[in-house]
Amino acid sequence: MTAKIRNLHRIRMLQETFELLSSIPKHGVATTPHILHEDQDLGADDLWIEESVCIQLLHKLNNYRSSPYANEDRCLYIVAELDPIGHGRIYYDDFLRICDVMHRNNRELKSSEFQCYCLRIANSKAYLACCYVVEHHRFNLFIDAVLIVNTIVIIIEFSLPSYTRDTWTKWNIVDISLSSVYLFEMFAKILIKGTSEYWYNT
């Protein structure tokens, strides 16, 4: 497939995406734009995306590792650039412009070592199940919870008298347990994402 054909295919997909987003009911707007026909202009004033929808879209794109990350301030800045007048509407030309910018900043993901050299393992049900668990948002929530517990444990441990800390070996068990969780997280993410992707996102 040549670059010209790929670009035409991409433009068509962006047009369809814009039509779907513009068909979302607007807050405080009596009528919503109709889906365009082939002989209509996508830059028409009756077809636009609400700012809140654009912000939600930018937040959703943060879930994809290949997409450039945008925090809340960055999202608001992007929307402000797309809507300099401040009328709360994002038109097709501006939508296409931000898609072009994000496409240029898109980073190609590198496959993990298992996906490159051990295809049989990478295609197994067990490996795919591990991918689902490790990349699920609840896994990160669990690690964050362990981090909070670890912080509390450190505060309690250092608030005790020194002789109590030296003689109470239960603190060593707690420290080893928490460190084991961190090691498990590191090895699991390296196994699923690969070494380069893990250190890039760390």
Reported as a single tens digit per residue, the pLDDT across 9-56 is 878 888 888 888 888 877 654 344 444 444 444 444 567 888 888 888
Which of 25-34, 45-54, 70-79, 153-162 bottoms out in mean pLDDT, i.e. has the lowest? Answer: 25-34
Residue 128 CA to residue 115 CA, distance in Å, equals 11
pLDDT of residue 142: 94
Strands 89-90 and 49-50: antiparallel
In CATH, the number for domain 3-104 is 1.10.238.10
pTM greater than 0.85 (yes/no)? no
Domains of the chain, residue spans: 3-104, 113-201
Confidence band for 144, pLDDT divided at 50, 70 and 90: very high
Contact 134, 201 (CB under 8 A): no
